Amino acid sequence: TQLLEQSPQFLSIQEGENLTVYCNSSSVFSSLQWYRQEPGEGPVLLVTVVTGGEVKKLKRLTFQFGDARKDSSLHITAAQPGDTGLYLCACHGAGSYQLTFGKGTKLSVIP
């Protein structure tokens, strides 16, 4: 099972600030997914990155996949209270449908 390390574990920022959260592994990812989980809900997929060096944008969210496919980052520009939630990275095992999740970054955006 591939171990995913996410940092920071907690992040509390003011509305309008920028932030970056990270997902790292000692092994190469075949692909990586980012999910957001709001309180009382299940995780919802934000993006899947597949190619080393890939950058994907989703409104104010920018996702980057490391060139060596061992790390990924999520950058949020001008955070809003609606961005509050738990951000989880996840990867499939080699040749498997099983998803392994990191422990997540809990983000609080204060109005």
Partner 1 sequence: NAGVTQTPKFQVLKTGQSMTLQCAQDMNHEYMSWYRQDPGMGLRLIHYSVGAGITDQGEVPNGYNVSRSTTEDFPLRLLSAAPSQTSVYFCASSYAREENLNTEAFFGQGTRLTVV
**Length of the chain in residues, anyone?**
111
Report, in Å, the least distance between residue 79 CB and partner 1. Answer: 22
- Residue 35's closest CA among 110, 102, 109, 108? 102
Q: Which pairing describes strands 71-76 and 61-65: parallel, antiparallel, or unpaired?
A: antiparallel
Nearer to partner 1, 51 or 80 (CB): 51
Report, in Å, the least distance between residue 75 CB and partner 1. Answer: 21
Nearer to partner 1, 1 or 14 (CB): 1
Q: Which residues lie below 8 Å from residue 93, measured CB to CB, with a gap of 6+?
A: 1, 2, 100
Nearer to partner 1, 35 or 63 (CB): 35
Residues that bind partner 1 (CB under 8 A): 1, 9, 30-31, 33, 35, 40-45, 48, 50, 88, 90, 92, 95-104
